[in-house]
Amino acid sequence: MTVSVIQFGGSNCDRDAVRALEHLGIDAERVWHEDELPEDVTGIMLPGGFSYGDYLRAGSMAAQSPILDDVREAAADGTPVLGVCNGAQVGCESSLTEGAFTTNESARFQCEHVYLRVENAETPWTAAYEEGDVIEIPIAHGEGRFEISEDRYEQLVEEDRILFRYCDADGNVTEEANPNGSRGNVAGIRGDDENVGVLMPHPERATLPDLNGSTDGSGILRGFETA
């Protein structure tokens, strides 16, 4: 298995992603967005950062990169694709998933540890957990508020496409536990198919115990092995 971590101008978590994946025994390599996907790619990660300096709208310019055509084609063929933070924004902007991530309700950049409740444990990205499990993972974003129309949100709920919600340490989904004002406390969703997932928190920053002491995010990255 080889995971291609797509590097855009302004990405700053691509090396962290490769390091975390390799720590889990998953081969990974960075691929520049102007290059083609390797023929042997078996997984794709869209990492965090500030692609194109978040110009116009976070993720919108990176979503126009030609490599996204390859990513969409690979996703349609069943290749696992995970978007993290800016990668989640790119995922939405490129129609890999629905909705959009916009300016935090606080209008501030927020960097802190948050709790997530696992909403659907039957996807590759959540299979390492049980439904209702609470995990602790860092966030670092200024445009992480998930928005979608009420009708489409209700459809996401009905189709069990919400992966994680922000919650407190006891698993309670409350307004106080919502760091950015996301609709329904949504922290991550899947695409039309389970092989595509995006989330704003950084699982690669909660994988190596010597980094911040938490390994709660390793189960998400192991989705590349189970998808």
Q: Are 112 and 166 in contact (CB under 8 A)?
A: no
Active site residues: 85, 202, 204
Residue stretches of the chain with pLDDT short of 50: none
The Cα 30–Cα 15 span in angstroms is 8
Give the DSSP H or E segment for 138.
Answer: strand 134-141
Q: Are 224 and 21 in contact (CB under 8 A)?
A: yes
pLDDT in the model for residue 125: 98
pLDDT one-digit tens code per residue, 141-186: 999 999 999 999 999 999 999 999 999 999 999 999 999 999 999 9
Q: Are strands 186-190 and 2-7 parallel, antiparallel or unpaired?
A: unpaired
Residue written as tokens 């971590």?
5
Sketch out the chain's domains with CATH numbers.
Answer: 2-225 (3.40.50.880)
Q: Of the candidates 212, 225, 210, which has an alpha carbon nearest to the alpha carbon of residue 43?
A: 225
pLDDT in the model for residue 56: 67
The Cα 207–Cα 23 span in angstroms is 8
